[in-house]
Chains A and B, each alone.
Chain A
Amino acid sequence: MPAKSNYVANATPLFSILSPAQCEEIFLAAEEVLERTGVTVHDEEARDILKKAGCWLDGIRVRIPSAVVNQALNSVPKRVTLCNSRTGSRDVLLEGNNAYFGTGSDTPFTIDPYTGRRRRSTKQSVGWACKVIDALPNLDFVMSLGIVQDVPLLISDRHQFEAQVLNTSKPIVTTAHDIYGFADIIEMCEIIAGGEEELRRNPFMTLYAEPISPLQHAWEAASKLVLAARKGLPVVYTPCVMAGGTVPATMAGVLTNGLAESLSGLVINQATREGSPFIMGGVFTIMDMSSTIFSYGSPEFNLLMSALADMAHYLKLPMFGTAGCSDACVVDEQAGIEAALSIAMTALSGPNLNHDVGYIEYGSTSSLEYLTINNDVIGMARRLVRGIKVNDETLALDLIDKVGPGGHFLAEDHTMKYFKTETYYPELINRQRYDAWKENGSKTLFQRANEKVKDIIENYQPEPLPQDVQKRIRAIVERAEQKVH
């Protein structure tokens, strides 16, 4: 191998929607929105914190000087690590262009894998979902993939968390109805981690909160940001914005408005305690102007999410992205198309913590088959992002000469060495020849996925929590139940 100099290689494919100058332009516009228009904050404590930080208050309207935004950007950690809840192993490194995938949480409905019927999600369905996620190698973290609705709704968040943590050891992004729910969940996590400091040092969970677009921080959201900062726990803050509905119809306007919401959330969080881990989120998409849905599959959604990833990299903020979801009401060709586009673009852009894998029906319903299918799609996308290595060994000129014109490479050591690493072998995607496929029952991808889901539910055992830990968690859930009664 000769020496080389001045040789630039793409270690991975290079992909961007926005140039650095465009990122700057959008960031400056968002700062202008915060300074000029401001946001409403529906929590008195958060408003006090903002006032002390140097913001201008006018009733619940808060205007934020650019200097305060910049200060928050300076103090926020550029990276956040999430861990395995059983081993504490630091598995999910939210930094740079690392892209991890997981599910979403807030689907009221789910497709039952046994009956095929759409029904309300339950504690059992959430448990099943977490088992399936735990078993799938390309899923890195968990959100509940359903709202538990067969328990008292006011404290369903505690049940939901219990169902998750019993069925998976992967990191959990958790929702809660309010700070009281969060307090209970944090307490459960501290029991599992073995203490408050242990949890802070190796967090296996991050809180989740969202503003209400345009430019509103409700009491629940603002108080969660404050609580997370006080506890020193990571928080995901996710504006869910729809072009033409809650934000302007132009893509740059969507990014400006959405970013202004994220940055104002960041300021609340950092002003409470500098250096708190904060993950910028976003589900940026369009409102379909015919059906008025919040689209989870439009090409604009893909563009916006990739552009937001460019923004996050520009600002050096860990990012919570969205992929593997669909507007289709069943797991059909459309669901496949929309998942492929969003997962491929997400993997190429590299936002860090990407949720909503397994959502169908514009986020109203979850499907475990869809989740399982997307495990393959994520594998495909990850192969794409590994790119092409170019060196003497991979160029293989000696081998080409040895095999010669008209020969073949099947029985070569070089092939043996590389065919499995250079090529991704999906699990459910079928590449059998027609006759073999027919012999195996002419199954569609959905049928194969359904079989796999049922197999996991029936046969897979997640790593259990110690009995005493399980009991103490149960006690917290029961305590909450009692308070409701």
Chain B
Amino acid sequence: MTKSQYVRANYQVNATPQFHVLSEHQCENIYYGALEALERTGAEVHSRTALEIFRQGGCRVDGNRVRFPTRLVERAVSSTPSRVVISDRHGHRSMFLEGSNVYYGPGPTNTYTLDPFTGERRRPKKSDTVRAGIVCDALPNIAYAMDNGTPMDVTPTLADVHAFQALLENTVKPIIHWGFGIEQYQDIVEMAAAVAGGLAELQRNPFIVLYSESSPPLRHSEEAIDKAIFAAKTDIPVIYTPCTFAGGVAPATMAGSLVISVADFLVGLVAGQLVREGASFIMGGLISTMDMSSSILSYGATELSLLSAGLTDVARHMKIPMFSTGGCSDSKVIDVQTGIEAAFSILIAGLSGASIVHDCNYMEYGATGSLELMVMDDEIIGMVKRILEGIEVDDEHLAVDVIDAVGPGGHFLGEMHTMAHFRDFWAPTLINRLRYDGWKAEGSKTMGQRIREKTQNIINTHKPEKLPDEVLRQIQTVVDRAEAREAAKKISK
């Protein structure tokens, strides 16, 4: 044992794999492109509140058109926290959105759901959101919950409020949640505050993240930008996501699409930072290509992975946490295509080091949510996490002594060294490595069949931790009040 007697000097290792799509200079180039677009072309803003904030903040406002001086945008970027910590329902700090930490989870508001029991594609119900909460709660590699579909068996304008209730009561994990507008977000924050033990507690250890989407190019609807402003005012972290698709609402070139995406995020960010300097913002990024044959926004295209990774590079350049996309598919059923597209995007998003990777449940270019896909993705994420751990290189791991002890033609099965390290191998649960005969003896099941069994099993047996009765009552009160409000609106109409 002489090899470890020496001390290494100037020894730089890759603690994890290294992966970058864009160089630092290219990131800068894209960022400056976005600043130029905002200063020259500006954005269309459809909210009176926001227009007033922009005007007072020093932007040039001309009707709906707002042009942003570079210094103003730069100031907003520099006042944005470079890290956001999200807690779970207990207030335990669980998601550290900083550096290159990666967390995976599902996406929201699909208009269909694939029923994991019948296989039917149908409209989501509130009971499906309950299932979504349970499955998110049970899967070890899913870091947070999102609704997996807009329930359509409740008052349509309160579908978000009902979905939030269903998630809140069925998972302790953080919740990222879409809302239709400010009123609904007020309801949602109130429910969350009831769980946290007051708004101040919720602000200190937020376990919810609000979510808003703008419609590129450079256009911001009233509810989109007002939601961002609401979040900043309320001091709750928010994700601002332009849905950018190359060739449709952005140039067909990848770099041009990144410019649109960054510029549109910055519009939301500036509004938020003008309202409250230091408000927690996460840069969103639903960015892909428009399939020019079917005209869908593709959730399975390589360009989704490439663009999201490029955008993540720019986000790191700006030192703002990144909300990326992966684990999704254009396939209509769980099949080989689903596996390919989900694995591809989960891998690249992981390598890119995006803070949050959402949509690990999106089938059919986002139209359908599937819990089975989420269960599949949980396994893929496990594999990718192993890849992200990289390779350790030191004397113990190089194992030159063990190689010598075993010698040519020997084997390592009975070695203490093997015993000490084989557990580092990633252990599959749904991936099957049985030999052919063994696999056949177990019924020749495809992975799709195993996924379905596991999903059903989770729904049937997993019991998430219950909220106290008193808190449940408070949550119900908020929902009832919202229902009364909507009913009153209908009558007055």
**Chain A residues proximal to chain B, CB less than 8 Å:** 7-10, 13-19, 21-22, 25-26, 29, 32-33, 36-40, 61, 118, 212, 214-216, 243-253, 255-257, 260, 286-291, 293, 295, 297-300, 302-304, 306-307, 327-341, 344-345, 348, 361-362, 364-365, 373, 376-377, 380-381, 383-384, 387-391, 393-397, 399-401, 403-410, 412, 414-415, 417-419, 422-425, 429-434, 436-438, 442, 444-446, 449
Evaluate contact between A340 and B41: CB separation under 8 angstroms. Answer: no
**Residues of B contacting A251 in the complex (Cβ-Cβ under 8 angstroms):** 391-392, 397
Within 8 A of A (CB), among B52-91: 65
Within 8 A of A (CB), among B339-365: 339-344, 347-348, 351, 364-365
Evaluate contact between B37 and A397: CB separation under 8 angstroms. Answer: yes
Evaluate contact between B397 and A250: CB separation under 8 angstroms. Answer: yes
Additional 9 contacts, C-beta under 8 A, given A17-B390, A19-B14, A373-B336: A25-B398, A33-B403, A303-B390, A327-B431, A334-B432, A377-B344, A396-B259, A429-B337, A444-B335
Evaluate contact between B351 and A419: CB separation under 8 angstroms. Answer: no
Contacts A295-B433, A405-B65 given: A255-B29 contact, CB under 8 Å?
A: no
Evaluate contact between A345 and B387: CB separation under 8 angstroms. Answer: yes
Evaluate contact between A433 and B296: CB separation under 8 angstroms. Answer: yes
**Residues of B contacting A25 in the complex (Cβ-Cβ under 8 angstroms):** 11, 393, 398
* 6 closest cross-chain pairs (CB), A and B: A336-B339, A253-B399, A405-B44, A396-B256, A215-B408, A333-B339
Question: In whole angstroms, what is the CA distance A424 to B305 when docked?
Answer: 12
Evaluate contact between A36 and B404: CB separation under 8 angstroms. Answer: yes
Question: In whole angstroms, what is the CA distance A391 to B32 when docked?
Answer: 12
* Interface pairs (23), CB distance under 8 Å: A10-B23, A13-B19, A14-B18, A15-B17, A17-B18, A33-B400, A249-B418, A250-B396, A256-B400, A295-B433, A300-B386, A302-B387, A327-B433, A336-B343, A377-B344, A383-B303, A410-B247, A417-B252, A423-B292, A423-B303, A429-B341, A431-B294, A434-B332
Contacts A26-B398, A341-B343, A388-B254 given: A307-B412 contact, CB under 8 Å?
A: no
Evaluate contact between B248 and A408: CB separation under 8 angstroms. Answer: yes
Question: In whole angstroms, what is the CA distance A47 to B250 when docked?
Answer: 65
Question: In whole angstroms, what is the CA distance A14 to B21 when docked?
Answer: 6
Contacts A26-B393, A431-B298 given: A423-B252 contact, CB under 8 Å?
A: yes
**Chain B residues proximal to chain A, CB less than 8 Å:** 3, 10-14, 17-26, 29-30, 33, 36-37, 40-44, 65, 121, 215, 217-219, 246-256, 258-260, 289, 291-294, 296, 298, 300-303, 305-307, 309-310, 330-344, 347-348, 351, 364-365, 367-368, 376, 379-380, 383-384, 386-387, 390-394, 396-400, 402-404, 406-413, 415, 417-418, 420-422, 424-426, 430-436, 438-440, 444, 446-448, 451
Evaluate contact between A336 and B302: CB separation under 8 angstroms. Answer: no
Question: In whole angstroms, what is the CA distance A411 to B251 when docked?
Answer: 11
CB distance from A393 to the nearest CB of B (A): 7
**Residues of A contacting B298 in the complex (Cβ-Cβ under 8 angstroms):** 431
Best-surrounded residue of A297, A348, A389, A430 (most CB of chain B within 10 A): A430
Q: Of the candidates A33, A422, A431, which one forms a contact with B253 in the assembled complex, judged by CB atoms under 8 Å apart?
A: A422
CB distance from B69 to the nearest CB of A (A): 17
Evaluate contact between B403 and A214: CB separation under 8 angstroms. Answer: yes
Q: Of the candidates A37, A216, A306, A336, which one forms a contact with B340 in the assembled complex, judged by CB atoms under 8 Å apart?
A: A336
Question: In whole angstroms, what is the CA distance A211 to B351 when docked?
Answer: 33
Best-surrounded residue of A250, A255, A339, A419 (most CB of chain B within 10 A): A250
Q: Of the candidates B255, B364, B418, which one forms a contact with A434 in the assembled complex, judged by CB atoms under 8 Å apart?
A: B364
**Residues of A contacting B351 in the complex (Cβ-Cβ under 8 angstroms):** 15
Evaluate contact between A8 and B383: CB separation under 8 angstroms. Answer: no
Evaluate contact between A335 and B403: CB separation under 8 angstroms. Answer: no
Evaluate contact between A299 and B296: CB separation under 8 angstroms. Answer: no
Evaluate contact between A442 and B407: CB separation under 8 angstroms. Answer: no
**Residues of A contacting B341 in the complex (Cβ-Cβ under 8 angstroms):** 340, 429
Evaluate contact between A339 and B251: CB separation under 8 angstroms. Answer: no
Question: In whole angstroms, what is the CA distance A384 to B3 when docked?
Answer: 41
CB distance from A50 to the nearest CB of B (A): 14
Evaluate contact between A9 and B41: CB separation under 8 angstroms. Answer: no
Contacts A9-B23, A25-B393 given: A37-B330 contact, CB under 8 Å?
A: no
**Residues of B contacting A433 in the complex (Cβ-Cβ under 8 angstroms):** 294, 296, 365
Evaluate contact between B408 and A61: CB separation under 8 angstroms. Answer: yes
**Residues of B contacting A399 in the complex (Cβ-Cβ under 8 angstroms):** 251, 256
CB distance from B261 to the nearest CB of A (A): 12
CB distance from B45 to the nearest CB of A (A): 9
Contacts A329-B439, A406-B219 given: A244-B412 contact, CB under 8 Å?
A: yes
Evaluate contact between B26 and A390: CB separation under 8 angstroms. Answer: yes
Evaluate contact between A442 and B409: CB separation under 8 angstroms. Answer: no
Evaluate contact between A444 and B408: CB separation under 8 angstroms. Answer: no
Best-surrounded residue of B305, B307, B399, B432 (most CB of chain A within 10 A): B399
**Residues of B contacting A417 in the complex (Cβ-Cβ under 8 angstroms):** 252
**Residues of B contacting A255 in the complex (Cβ-Cβ under 8 angstroms):** 391
Contacts A256-B399, A388-B255, A442-B333 given: A344-B344 contact, CB under 8 Å?
A: yes
CB distance from A301 to the nearest CB of B (A): 10
Q: Of the candidates B36, B300, B421, which one forms a contact with A249 in the assembled complex, judged by CB atoms under 8 Å apart?
A: B421
Evaluate contact between A253 and B403: CB separation under 8 angstroms. Answer: yes
Contacts A348-B19, A445-B336 given: A389-B254 contact, CB under 8 Å?
A: yes
**Residues of A contacting B343 in the complex (Cβ-Cβ under 8 angstroms):** 336-338, 340-341, 344
Identity of the chain A residue whose Cβ is nearest the Cβ of B427 in the assembled complex: A290
Evaluate contact between A387 and B306: CB separation under 8 angstroms. Answer: yes
Evaluate contact between B306 and A444: CB separation under 8 angstroms. Answer: no
Question: In whole angstroms, what is the CA distance A364 to B440 when docked?
Answer: 15
Q: Of the candidates B20, B256, B292, B391, which one forms a contact with A395 in the assembled complex, judged by CB atoms under 8 Å apart?
A: B256
CB distance from A295 to the nearest CB of B (A): 6
Contacts A14-B20, A395-B259 given: A444-B336 contact, CB under 8 Å?
A: yes
Contacts A384-B306, A390-B22 given: A434-B367 contact, CB under 8 Å?
A: yes
Identity of the chain B residue whose Cβ is nearest the Cβ of A380 in the assembled complex: B302
CB distance from B412 to the nearest CB of A (A): 6
Identity of the chain A residue whose Cβ is nearest the Cβ of B394 in the assembled complex: A252
Evaluate contact between A388 and B444: CB separation under 8 angstroms. Answer: no
Best-surrounded residue of B14, B393, B439 (most CB of chain A within 10 A): B393
Question: In whole angstroms, what is the CA distance A36 to B343 when docked?
Answer: 42
Question: In whole angstroms, what is the CA distance A126 to B215 when docked?
Answer: 52
CB distance from A114 to the nearest CB of B (A): 19
Contacts A373-B340, A383-B302 given: A214-B406 contact, CB under 8 Å?
A: yes
Best-surrounded residue of B25, B40, B253, B339 (most CB of chain A within 10 A): B253
Evaluate contact between B447 and A332: CB separation under 8 angstroms. Answer: yes
Question: In whole angstroms, what is the CA distance A183 to B402 when docked?
Answer: 39
Evaluate contact between A10 and B398: CB separation under 8 angstroms. Answer: no
CB distance from A306 to the nearest CB of B (A): 7
Identity of the chain A residue whose Cβ is nearest the Cβ of B32 in the assembled complex: A395
Evaluate contact between B398 and A388: CB separation under 8 angstroms. Answer: no
**Residues of B contacting A32 in the complex (Cβ-Cβ under 8 angstroms):** 3, 400
Identity of the chain B residue whose Cβ is nearest the Cβ of A428 in the assembled complex: B337
Q: Of the candidates B26, B417, B440, which one forms a contact with A9 in the assembled complex, judged by CB atoms under 8 Å apart?
A: B26
**Residues of B contacting A298 in the complex (Cβ-Cβ under 8 angstroms):** 383, 425-426, 433
Evaluate contact between B255 and A390: CB separation under 8 angstroms. Answer: yes
**Residues of A contacting B11 in the complex (Cβ-Cβ under 8 angstroms):** 21, 25
Evaluate contact between A16 and B330: CB separation under 8 angstroms. Answer: no
Best-surrounded residue of B333, B339, B390 (most CB of chain A within 10 A): B339
**Residues of B contacting A288 in the complex (Cβ-Cβ under 8 angstroms):** 425, 433
Question: In whole angstroms, what is the CA distance A337 to B22 when docked?
Answer: 26
Evaluate contact between A395 and B335: CB separation under 8 angstroms. Answer: no
